[in-house]
């Protein structure tokens, strides 16, 4: 009945920092937004994200063990070399917290890494040769 995901909307603590990360580190492009909300609509040419800036001054950091909803956002790449290239681009980006560097997922052959982007979203990037 459905035809895939149209877009994913993420609430972030700092819209400018998250937007800069997706554009600068990952090469995404903005295709719209609403400064009154505020929000930014981004794409990598295949996927679309809506980044919404949180309004509350006080907020709880995301806890994948207790929060309902998004556990992480997973993006895919086409090769192990691309996975390592993306990791090199994001690992030292301002505000990024590396959870783990590229490694096998379980016993493999899938490889992945996990970071928290500057706006607080837990992000996985993976390559699966199967």
Structural domain harbouring 87: 8-56+71-127
Residue 64 lies in a domain: no
From residue 91, give the alpha-carbon distance in Å to each of 11, 16, 44, 106.
22, 18, 19, 22
Residue 75 lies in a domain: yes
Q: In 1-130, at which residue ranges do the beta strands (DSSP E only) sit? A: 8-12, 29-34, 39-43, 48-53, 73-76, 97-104, 111-116, 122-127
pTM above threshold 0.85: yes
The token pair at 97 is 């917290």
Residue 104 lies in a domain: yes
Residue 87 lies in a domain: yes
| pLDDT (tens digit per residue) in 83-105 | 999 999 999 999 999 999 999 99
What is the pLDDT, as a whole number, of residue 4? 83
| pLDDT (tens digit per residue) in 3-50 | 888 899 998 989 999 999 999 999 999 999 999 989 999 999 999 999
Total of domains in the chain: 1
Residue 44 lies in a domain: yes
Q: What CATH number did the domain enclosing 118 receive?
A: 3.10.180.10
């Amino acid at each position: 009945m459905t035809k895939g995901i149209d877009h994913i909307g993420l609430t972030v603590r700092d819209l400018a920092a998250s937007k800069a990360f997706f554009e600068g580190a990952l090469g995404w492009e903005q295709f719209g937004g609403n400064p009154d909300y505020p929000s930014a609509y981004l794409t990598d040419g295949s996927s679309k994200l809506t980044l919404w800036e949180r309004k509350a001054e006080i907020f709880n950091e995301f806890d994948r063990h207790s929060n309902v909803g998004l556990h992480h956002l997973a993006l895919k790449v086409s090769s192990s070399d691309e996975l390592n290239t993306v990791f090199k681009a994001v690992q030292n980006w301002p505000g990024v917290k590396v959870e783990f560097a590229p490694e096998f997922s379980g016993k493999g052959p899938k490889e992945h890494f996990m970071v928290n982007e500057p706006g607080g979203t837990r992000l996985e990037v993976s390559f699966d040769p199967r």
